Structure 1
């Protein structure tokens, strides 16, 4: 008795119609949504910090984590060349805000005079 094995393409192989489908259809919406969440988090942190509310530390730590993740994925998903350079340049001020948010989340929430 002979068992016939069917040939199966590797999991990484793409189907022939893969080029016909739109790639990363939701990517712009996802990045815009993430940017809006970060902006809302920064505004929330600023309002809470201005009031001296202890919850500003939680908000600042969440914003720091989101911004670090955003900078990380911006750099990793950028294509070589100009796009990669632009991602690195944009990551510098973003990481500065990560540092500020981390500082706020680790220190007292009393307003600076």
Structure 2
């Protein structure tokens, strides 16, 4: 089952390439977005929840903290990406870059935790 799952993931990666080639010239350069603040707050809620879950599980020595750390790293990188790519030039862009640096630091800490072996069954040292 694991082998077929990996083959499916590899196939998805290959199929996404032509999809991106189609999207690149056909997507509009800009668009009006509804629920903009909800989308951004949602990313921050996911990041905060991931940090809290990772901290609680990690402090309990629960190995599932690696999973929440991995997911939280992904959310932090996505948040940084959208901060940078949706912000106009100027002060707002400088602020987005500063936030992206902080989110990259958070992502690195989460990746470290996700990959750490720790002692026993958890990630606590």
Structure 1-normalised TM-score? 0.76
RMSD across aligned C-alpha pairs, in angstroms?
Answer: 1.7
Partner Cα separation in structure 2 for residue 54 and residue 86 of structure 1: 35
Partner Cα separation in structure 1 for residue 27 and residue 82 of structure 2: 22
Partner Cα separation in structure 2 for residue 90 and residue 70 of structure 1: 9
**Partner residue, 2:39:** 30
**Which of structure 1's runs of 4+ aligned residues deviate more than 3 A?**
none
Greater CA radius of gyration, 1 or 2? 1
For the residue of structure 2 that corresponds to 1:49, the secondary structure is helix
Quick check: 1:96 aligned with 2:105? Answer: yes
Structure 2-normalised TM-score? 0.69
Please list every run of 5 or more consecutive structure 2 residues that lacks an aligned counterpart in the other structure: 1-25
Structure with higher helix content: 2
Partner Cα separation in structure 2 for residue 12 and residue 55 of structure 1: 38
Quick check: 1:111 aligned with 2:124? Answer: yes
How many residues were matched structurally? 93
Quick check: 1:64 aligned with 2:107? Answer: no
Partner Cα separation in structure 2 for residue 43 and residue 79 of structure 1: 31
